[in-house]
Structure 1
């Protein structure tokens, strides 16, 4: 069998494996708040998230094209495919590590870090302007927006319903969370499935199997969405606990506000900008913003600092593992 074909199949297989790990690492993004406020049962929430991820994959083509072109330039055929595969393995290793410790990191930044590290190790070219504009700036801006808008939305909810009956309000917001959680799941699929699709397209283009770095075959949509949905349904229970209980003790109005804000940021970015932002950063910062309305002590800032530290470490650690993973594959092929 042709070496290029073998390595292409391996690279696509590893990309789909990454989609699975992305699902169980990022499943908490869509459902942690709904589970913690008891708006949905864990399995019902996971099933809804999986369906939302599957549907959202078909709406994220703009993000997929951003990932497939404009971030790195790798050699053609086998050498380039090895870089893609090594980068994915670096991301997968960090995803598993973070899940073990319950850190809600960005699986997306694991992906980008791994590919950048492998690209540097393999002699490819990293387009730093593209990394700055399409990854670094959105990474900095989206949590700030999530925190600020989350604070304002929660403040508005408290003011609008200031005279309401707490029991009735909690019941009503639990029902409303079904909608906001579904929107969050859809937004997660639009972003995270799209990133994996972009990597598969990059592998197909690098291997010479298609002439365009932006064309997405239908089977890529289906395979990626299915693996992401499977991983989501498998669940990431430690991360769900971190987001749902350890940062703040969420009530239904807070859960609704955080999910609505995060989903709105994901939708707006996907449709208008197409930058691959982190769903983890967006929902976590929204939760912090929502909790801050109740005062400084309402948010467990020690937990928040640990999460932010994990965010900071994600890109360089995944890059290092991606670079190390390139070495044995480079020797093998």
Structure 2
């Protein structure tokens, strides 16, 4: 087989196809932001089967990194480019290349690190985590590619993005051909839920699921409502967060800023190790209040809130339990 296999994202378990030599690849098209989670599932399944059936040494760190890069590049394509986007994953014995093709020829904007910025950290993370990043573009659109080593990806060599006049990366379809339709829906994307415990001196909100493009609006609304209505410090317990990309990071930064503006303490507890690494990479750990446990977060938040309340007007307590809206679809 000389070309990567085109498949419906729902068929991830049947998607590993051999290329020439020791290369393996898969590709699928996505025409809805609701399918971004399916793109991540496709990547996880692809890597799992490569490890299980082909013996590739894929570490958990490499798998997490590929999943994040897939989420960032597909999210960018769905947000800023018209029409569907095409995701291709290509693996060799030593690395995985993630390529996303869309029909917008303008190059993506990569912002410099700035933890004070509440959004647009996606490509900043991709550049930091990949060994090679390149944009191939012409009048028909572009391919954005990022390469990840299958070894330790925690400290890749620093590099600058490159831009190519080639229509496509080697081994991938030329941009002059039309994008394939995405086919049938791959099912509903992963969402998020929040469990509230307001019985103590702080409100503890335990978030479960993915913090991503699909859950962003709902999570921001819910957390903001807690900040507004609780009249107490708010602790976000991230124990059960299954995935968080730059959109999830934006949720944390935005709600933290909003809480500070209202004079309410907001802190994070039980931050997963992978997310903690991303916070450090972007400098967000210097802006957000991060603690190992809920108890530590409560102690620090009560102290911070007491100091803030002495210098800010008191808001009247509603005296009623916060009712959260229904979760994302």
TM-score w.r.t. the length of structure 2 is 0.29
Higher relative contact order (CA 8 A, sep 6+): 1
Q: Per residue, is there more strand in 1 or in 2?
A: 2
- Which has the greater radius of gyration? 2
Q: Per residue, is there more helix in 1 or in 2?
A: 1
